[in-house]
Chain A
């Protein structure tokens, strides 16, 4: 069974952490993943950096630019991950914009993901209809779960369609924003989380964008299966030694 499916069956709220591969230093990838697993994180999103990250705010733009300067490429990332399954068993997802994957070759990319032990992909600018027509079979063949996004503006009909096309979890963007833009949730978000929960979708939802501490994690997971922290974690590893990752995680989930 795919490690993501296994994880989703656990009776707990899941904490997923995003980081940009190649940041702060080119070869931090493995150390970060190992520290996250040791600290009790449930899922990891490895960001494949892109020059023009349209859906990201300043923090992840900055980490992406620095990672590229440090020499991160798709090839380098796969080399770093070559033996990752010898040391960790946590579900691993690659999150990246479509163009670098397209240039690598989507089929080759999927093959390589399977080879190193990646469990799923999040490609925010790959349209769902293009995925269905051109790439779904490759993803399935290589055991990859594709994760789609929904937002507060996504219509109910489209959410049902996205649910029908998903086979893991749905990435629920907390509010209309780029990453890292807003902090704290109000009534509007809570109502939205509840509205989606009441739809009884086939796929559980994990909330992302705007989660930075224990309070926002608790709010975000009241009606959902879990939450994702990105920008706040990227900021943390900019300013702290990787050995202190456990302190950050402890501050979220105790």
Chain B
């Protein structure tokens, strides 16, 4: 269509829209509401997703290598009675050592791989923390604190003290803030550690860290590797975990099976380890899109309806325009332009509404409680959502307007003029 025809159709569309300002506004508000809610929802949901993912990333290694105690082993009956049908009830696991052999060499080899940011070895154990009358269950990780810092940026997670205190203090321990709070212990206090085997040792708190996830901060503390080996009465090579961090954490899922195959120990990637946390993200995404699409469809039906009514009321005008020499495409564009204008300005207002709404959400105080340490809901102000919003809005209204506009283009003027 020629530009001048388009301009004329646009002029007619404009006059018709402005002559019914309330109806036009109501149609726009339908779109505004749909797009606004989409923006607010997706900003909040992806903000939460990003937070949980970040937390998952900071608290767990990209890949963890450890000895996986296998519950399945053949019962002795299988060997004795090879032909028969053997059922063993209440089979107990074998007394296996959870030691990772040659852990140092494994870490060494992993560090040589491309995309590997660091690999650290550690000795993890369940312990009881005793302070005064309080006894708490938790874990202790014997680490090379500098190597661990490279992987998890512990320096910036310290609330009190410094990680170097651990090096100068063989009997030192860096404790999660939540754990310290429960014990009512402070930096400089001495706590007694009891291992599952019954050994005890007194360690001095030289620092407090906070990662932001309750399950970590409320249970974990770090000590020197040799100290933990001593407490557990294990030899110098006793290591339970090799932690690996990558430059690109999305590659963890590919690399884990390779490492597992190479070294013969279980290698678990962060996504698998945090599956419960991440399942929430998927559900949130589904909800966001389902709700937004529903709102948009409702807005689309609103526009479809309003346009149908408008066209019905404008039958005579359409007939007269056609009699005067306006073609079907001219008439169609008059109504398509109306729906696109409603869609565009409705979406634009929706973007503003969505931005204001998500901004207000980001201001509202929110207590993450023991689970995650946040004071406000995280909101993701990604410009991409605003682009998607306006494209969605205009596309929906274009679809909603197409059928009625085509109907208008096909109006037979004689039918109308004959009366």
Task: Tell me whether A and B are bound partners.
Answer: no
| Chain B contacts to A: CB under 8 angstroms | none
Taking beta carbons and an 8 Å cutoff, which residues of A are in contact with B?
A: none
